[in-house]
Chains A and B, each alone.
Chain A
């Protein structure tokens, strides 16, 4: 254990509360930026809060013979997993808990999110929802491996799977310089796992909203909030893994990390909202045939650089 974790520094309960609060704020920021990009600046800061309050008050709709247990389980798991993935993202230079396998933890939360979204599609016993669920499975499977390789590439260069070690290894040079492919694939893969922007086919209009078509009230709020929190957590993780985390001149470290996270969110939303929704049957093969070899090649380049002592 090279450094203290948040839980050790502040005590478990305050640290967990702080991480949950950071997650909620990140989710609100993502939703606000999204709103600002889609419909101009007016009310972008207030709108996510207002629609959240409306969803909280809205009465639940239900369907005929839903699998209520799995439906609720999936819907609740989405925000919980998004917050759990935030547990290994450095906040103020420290993670909530630090293990020797932080990057794999982040990846495992994504995989569980994948299963949870399928449950959200399966639960209501409705054709559009389950179609969206199957689309998400195909899409997630195609982007899982490139995303995994992108994460591992950062760990490879740092010689550690611990997030704080990866941040510390970027003192001299941000990893994005030597692994631009991994950075882009990581951010795109995170968007795919949040079925957001160009990867929103599981909730697309051609299947009447897909996975989210039968969600209402607090269930919809949980899933939408989970998506936004996961996007925010992924942006913070991208800033930590590839953009040097808190490193930067003049300003304190946490502020730099926040600025970089906001920049990733802004870039992601600004570009993502300008692309059309990609049809899985026309893009899933790209994940397998192009992105997997490309990220493997990126890992190979980084591995050779590690052997030459470039990162030492």
Chain B
């Protein structure tokens, strides 16, 4: 595996890997929610860089794209749910230090053992010229069923999460008889409904 890569790629993977771990640690060191969120984004971007160095352009770019959107939305919610929503007062991301240390060490041991003990298969086919096309054909072909199920499950989770989180249901919007002409929304939104 490593022998396929050029010296530059190995150096980039190493540096970016260290960077991603370092900014992952920074998430728990910094004392502001905005900094913690963007340290996490930095960690994800470093992982995207690793994928880029491995010549998996589509996966790299899509990782950067999705994680950026996710972090930008998450920072709003994290700030909202903080005890101090202004966010510039000191805070910490570390809770239940002993339990999380045990969990973290356990996960580390399991992963390291897995990496070194499992007899990983070696690649016996040549590299495809276009990894993006190969990925698309896998998702739209042999793995279509899995992707569809995951997509529906994710969508159902989003809907369920929103339904559970919102304090306002249809009776709040359209009245107890559901017969109001206009929904009573706090923010109009723009469309005449």
Interface residues, chain A, CB within 8 Å of chain B? 65, 67, 69-70, 73, 99-101, 104-105, 107-108, 111-112, 114-115, 118-119, 122, 125, 134, 137, 140-141, 144, 161, 281-286, 289-290
Contact = CB atoms under 8 A, between A and B. Distances in A.
A282 B190 contact: yes
B88 A65 contact: yes
Interface stretch (B12-20, B68-76, B117-125, B138-146): B68-76
Contacts of A290: 191
Given A73-B38, A282-B190, A285-B190, 7 more contacts: A99-B58, A100-B131, A101-B62, A114-B68, A115-B38, A115-B71, A286-B191
Contacts of A122: 34
Contacts of B41: 115
Interface residues of chain B: helix, strand, loop or mixed (majority)? helix
A289 B57 contact: no
Contacts of A282: 188-190
B69 to A, nearest CB: 5
Interface string B142-181: 0000000000000000000000000000000000000000
Given A70-B34, A70-B38, A105-B61, A137 B187 contact: no
B73 A101 contact: no
Contact of A108 (B65, B130, B132): B65
Most buried by B among A108, A111, A284: A108
B50 interface: no
B64 A281 contact: no
Nearest to A118: B72
Interface residues of chain A: helix, strand, loop or mixed (majority)? helix
Contact of A289 (B35, B75, B133, B191): B191
Interface in B41-94: 41, 57-58, 61-62, 64-65, 68-69, 71-73, 75-76, 88
Contacts of A73: 38
Nearest to A282: B190
B88 A119 contact: no
Interface in B13-41: 32, 34-35, 38, 41
Most buried by A among B38, B61, B65: B61
A285 B191 CA distance: 7
Contact of A114 (B69, B76, B189): B69
Contacts of B191: 285-286, 289-290
A101 B58 CA distance: 5
Given A112-B64, A161-B132, A67 B189 contact: no
Nearest to A99: B57
Contacts of A99: 57-58, 61, 132
Contact of A100 (B34, B57, B62, B189): B57
